[in-house]
Amino acid sequence: MGGGGFSHDDDNGLLDDHLLSLARRDRARVLFVPTASGDAESYVERFLAAFPESRADASVLRLFGREVGDLRTHVLDQDVVYVGGGNTANLLAVWRVHGLDAIFAEAHSAGIVLAGLSAGMNCWFEGSVTDSFGPTLQPLTDGLGLLAGSACPHYDGEEQRRPTYLQLVASGRLPDGYAAHDDCALVFDDGALVEAVASRDDARAFRVTREGDRAVETPLPVRMLGN
């Protein structure tokens, strides 16, 4: 997700409903991973409020006050891993210290849905554009690499996201990749893009590729959810 879901104050629930529909059982086990926000309790509370018992079997994986001993067993028992937004670089560093990079790769192979927004979009790709390193957007090139190429969330939500991403791809500092507006999500299966979906009529997604010394945006078909 480029942005949206329960994190947005004006969320209509469509993206999160679609995420649940991808799970392998009707009442999905959904694990929220708020590492990128430093396990912010207010963020956790918003997640739990959005995923009551009537909607899903929801739990939270905190790493700054870690309560789970066997991370591998806990993660592999889930249907959906939902990664929150925040600092992508810090998220990756903390995950690697705890061995979650390898565990999430195993979860991916096992068919568990791996999802997220903002930093939770960036992390699955090889590279991304991020504000992890300070007030200006920078390239990040050591993502988990479960998806090939690069990612840019908030493509319409932050003024500098689009021009920065285009410049980084054009210069070769980031590989070709995908950009998503807020309220738009990209669905991949076995590394291949299946479709783009949105909870807002004008939310868009793009394939961004380097051609010579410039970056080219190719709009992707977007299916409006709820229609």
* Residues recognised as catalytic: 118, 154
Distances (CA, A) of 185 to 36, 75, 92: 19, 23, 21
- Cα separation, 210 vs 54, whole angstroms: 46
| The amino acid at 14 | L
Non-local CB neighbours of 218 within 8 Å, separated by 6+ positions: 206, 207, 208, 209
Do 180 and 222 form a contact (C-beta atoms < 8 A)?
Answer: no
DSSP 84: P
Cα-Cα-Cα-Cα dihedral sign, residues 227, 151, 118, 144: positive
Beta-strand relationship, 113-116 and 57-60:
unpaired
- Cα separation, 162 vs 179, whole angstroms: 8
